[in-house]
Amino acid sequence: MDHDKTGALIAARRRGLGLTQRQLAERLAVSDRTVSKWERGLGAPDVSLLPRLARELGVSIEALLAGEPEEQSPVGGSMKQCRYYVCPVCGGLTVSTSDAAVSCCGGPLEALTPQKAPPGQRLRAEPVEDEWFLTSDHPMTKEHHIALVAFASGDRLELVRQWPEWDLQLRLPRRGHGMLLWYCTRHGLFWQPL
């Protein structure tokens, strides 16, 4: 770890976020003198502080250790390329439009890989006026249910949370073509064209 480079990165990210040394220090439960020392390259953050410091500054731990921000590729494309993360502990959902380091309930989450739904398992989509009426015979028990349904088109993402023990019936606006996605608590993330 190059203390000067890491310190310069900490200072640049802190300023970019509009934080004072004192504000950053309070978030990390250290003194503002400690933050000043890091930024001047006179020391480095304790290894136990790296995850919190990285999170507060919006960089990876690897970037902090290298003292260089990661190369960011421009995010273009469409909402169809979103990444979905589901916490196995609490069932919380996080959606990202590009690569992200996501954690929940104390552990890192991996982006789910959508599987193309086989014909017999697809959701039924019927046009009703200017909406899609979606239904399914999928089990909806606490142990095995569809927890979310999403429609992703080029510029929009519509997400609907589903609850166990209720039949899956919902309406989504019809907005051209896109991907219909759903998350089964037992089998993962599926998609079908819509």
What pLDDT is recorded for position 120? Answer: 84
Does the pLDDT of residue 74 top 50, yes or no? no
Mean pLDDT of all residues in 36-49: 92
Q: Are residues 183 and 90 in the same domain?
A: yes
Task: Name the phi and psi angles at 121, rounded to 5.
Answer: -110, 5
Domain membership of residue 58 (yes or no) is: yes
Does the pLDDT of residue 72 top 60, yes or no? no
Q: Are residues 157 and 119 in the same domain?
A: yes
What pLDDT is recorded for position 119? Answer: 85
Q: Are residues 188 and 110 in the same domain?
A: yes
Domain membership of residue 85 (yes or no) is: yes
* Across 83-87, 97-101, 136-140, least confident range: 97-101
The structural domain count of the chain equals 2
Q: Measuring CA to CA, how many Å separate 116 from each of 2, 9, 75, 188?
A: 46, 42, 24, 11
* Across 44-48, 109-113, 175-179, 180-184, least confident range: 175-179
Q: How far apart are CA 69 and CA 184, in angstroms?
A: 37
pLDDT-derived band at 77 (thresholds 50, 70, 90) equals low
Q: Are residues 105 and 142 in the same domain?
A: yes
Q: How far apart are CA 8 and CA 5, in angstroms?
A: 5
Q: Are residues 48 and 100 in the same domain?
A: no
Domain membership of residue 169 (yes or no) is: yes
Domain that holds residue 56: 3-66
Residue 72's CB: how many other CB atoms inside 10 A? 8
Q: Are residues 56 and 90 in the same domain?
A: no
Domain membership of residue 74 (yes or no) is: no
Q: 3-state DSSP call for residue 79?
A: helix
Does the pLDDT of residue 63 top 60, yes or no? yes
What pLDDT is recorded for position 133? Answer: 96
Residue the block writes with tokens 């014909």: 119
Q: Measuring CA to CA, how many Å separate 168 from each of 50, 69, 142?
A: 43, 44, 13
Mean pLDDT, the chain, integer: 88
CATH number of 27's domain: 1.10.260.40
- The per-type count for the chain, helices as H runs and strands as E runs, is 5, 12
Q: pTM above 0.75?
A: no
Q: Are residues 160 and 139 in the same domain?
A: yes
Q: Are residues 128 and 36 in the same domain?
A: no
Q: How far apart are CA 110 and CA 47, in angstroms?
A: 24
Q: Are residues 116 and 20 in the same domain?
A: no
CATH number of 119's domain: 2.60.40.730
The residues, ordered by sequence, that sit 6+ positions from 94 with a Cβ below 8 Å of its Cβ are 84, 85, 86, 87, 100, 102, 104, 109
Q: How far apart are CA 192 and CA 182, in angstroms?
A: 9
Domain membership of residue 101 (yes or no) is: yes
Domain membership of residue 73 (yes or no) is: no
* In contact, 116 and 192? CB cutoff 8 Å: yes
Domain membership of residue 106 (yes or no) is: yes
Q: Which of 23, 44, 66 is the last residue of a domain?
A: 66
Q: How far apart are CA 183 and CA 148, in angstroms?
A: 5
Q: What is the pLDDT of residues 128-165, one digit of tens each?
A: 999 999 999 999 999 999 999 999 887 888 999 998 88
Q: How far apart are CA 160 and CA 8, in angstroms?
A: 43
Q: Are residues 111 and 40 in the same domain?
A: no
Q: Are residues 54 and 126 in the same domain?
A: no
